[in-house]
Amino acid sequence: MTRYTPRAKDRMGAAVGAVLLPGMLGYALLSGLVVTMPAAVSDALKVFDAAPPPPPPPEEKVRPRPSPSRKPEGAASPPNLKSKATEVVAPPPIVPVVVPPPVVVAEKAGVGAEATSGASNVRGPGTGSGGIGNGTGSGGYGDGDGGGGEETPPEWRGGRLRDSDYPREAAETGIRGRVFVRYLVQTNGRVSRCRVTRSSGSRVLDDLTCRLIEQRFRYDPSLDAAGRPVESTIVESHDWSMDDD
């Protein structure tokens, strides 16, 4: 059987450890029981209001820039259709017109240098023919005007415009109006050179009026002072209307 015998060095280390261990435990115990007294404050506490710190500024949100589309852009569409309504025009007011009587107009005006015309009742300085004598021969010429006669106006003999002459297209559309005309009565009593001086508003009614007047109207011509037929002009009007039955 082997017997272990400690060496002197080992015995010395064990003795030192046995001495140090109680000392360390006592120091730790004393250190834990020590109370540290606070130092006296030399200055009194100062009381003041402290403003709260300002709030932090709001964070700015940075929006990312949209990335450009790489798709090809489409072409513009064609313009839209447009419409324009027809403007409404008010019909002209119907004003009754007083029909003047036919006026006989001379084709050629008389030629004279005076402001007035006609024979005077004052005797002139010229020599005239003598009274009834028992001599032979004729009297001389005087320089007076002499007593002149007047022309007689033309007289209507026949021809008229009838309701049956109203054109069908005008009757269907309700066109009506008054046509003012001027025409020439020839020496044979026939009518020519008819023209419209004021339109009825319808070309159909205007043309029809003059055409029927030249075809149908007949007159006894106007006569001058000597009884000879002369041309004359007549101005008149004709109404075209449909009776509302």
CA distance 113 to 85: 63
Q: What class is the 151-240 domain? A: alpha beta
The tens digit of pLDDT for each residue in 210-243 reads 999 999 999 999 999 999 999 999 999 988 887 6
Average pLDDT in the 191-200 region? 93
pLDDT greater than 50 at residue 133: no
Domain ranges of the chain: 151-240
For the CA atoms of 119, 125, 127, 133, the dihedral, rounded to the nearest 10 degrees, stands at: 80
* 92 compared with 187, residue with greater pLDDT: 187
Higher pLDDT pick, 143 / 105 = 105
pLDDT exceeds 90 at position 14? no
Instruction: Summarize the confidence of residues 18-34 as an average pLDDT.
Output: 70
* pLDDT tens, residue by residue, 151-168: 889 999 999 988 888 888
